[in-house]
Amino acid sequence: MPELPEVETTRRGIAPHLVGQRISRVIVRDRRLRWPIPEDLDIVVSGQRVEAVERRAKYLLIKLETGSLISHLGMSGNLRLVPCGSPAGKHEHVDIELESGMALRYTDPRRFGALLWSQAPLEHVLLSKLGPEPLTEAFSGERLYEKSRGRSMAVKPFIMDNAVVVGVGNIYATEALFAAGIDPRREAGSISKARYAKLALEIKRILAHAIERGGTTLRDFIGGDGQPGYFQQELFAYGRGGEFCKVCGSTLRELKLGQRASVYCGRCQR
């Protein structure tokens, strides 16, 4: 599933081609995404100017004059620019055509994503209760410590909770816990303030670095410019169960936490 760095990479790739452009029409080939695409989307947005392309958690917000398109890439989706009229493949469900002659094409083989419309996107039910962005001052080790008090759940699903902090998905939670030396099985409420301070710093560092590296290429993901991400080449733990630890040389262990695969080093992470 595309995570925060992949979504931010997409935002950066498509924004220069969208901002300032007017939408000439919207072609919807299949409305059956996770939530159906609105029937009147073409009527509502055609003729409107794109004012900004923003991101909230893993949602892209294409801000128009009277509201915003809310897009989620689901498990396998992507947004990229193509010339208007380009032949569409089986899973290329939507084209947002621009007066420039280019179209923003939404592709989603599994159809778990979304393309919705809202006049007040931050008040939308999907966004209104989200926690702080991890790369802002609103997120800190102090917040993790306070939110974790009395919590018996494992620390990995705790930091993946969007009410605690947004955008820390499986890949980056695994990598941040490794970098901070914290066992993903530890009870969230048992971790000290000092260790949460270290974990928050590693979350920020790893997410920022992954964005600069264009995200992580995992099966279906490509950025908005059609290029793959390169962070996968630098992974220390995620997807490396049974391989050697790059720090101590011991064998990395793998287990399930919250229905997600978790890889960790029994020697480096306590």
**pLDDT score, position 233:** 59
Per the prediction, the chain carries an average pLDDT of 92
113-117: average pLDDT: 97
pLDDT of 212 over the 90 cut: no
Which pLDDT band, with edges at 50, 70 and 90, does 70 fall under?
Answer: very high
Catalytic positions are: 2-3, 58, 260
Task: Write the CATH number of the domain with boundaries 4-123.
Answer: 3.20.190.10
Binding residues for DNA: 91, 110, 151
pLDDT of 222 over the 90 cut: no
Q: Pick one of 3.40.50.720, 1.10.540.10, 3.30.70.260, 1.10.8.50 as the CATH number of 141-264.
A: 1.10.8.50
CA 244 to chain centre: 28
CA distance 69 to 50: 10
Q: How do residues 167-176 score in pLDDT, each as one tens digit?
A: 999 999 999 9
Spatial neighbors of 150 by CB under 8 A, at least 6 apart, are 189
Residue 25 or 212, more confident: 25
Q: What is the pTM of this model?
A: 0.88
CA distance 2 to 10: 10
Q: Looking only at Cα atoms, what is the longest distance across the chain?
A: 59
Sign, Cα dihedral of 209, 213, 219, 220: positive
% of the chain beyond a pLDDT of 90: 87
74-82: average pLDDT: 92
Binding residues: 91, 110, 151
pLDDT of 148 over the 70 cut: yes
Q: Where are the domains of the chain?
A: 4-123, 141-264
**pLDDT score, position 229:** 44
Residue 210 or 264, more confident: 264
79-101: average pLDDT: 96
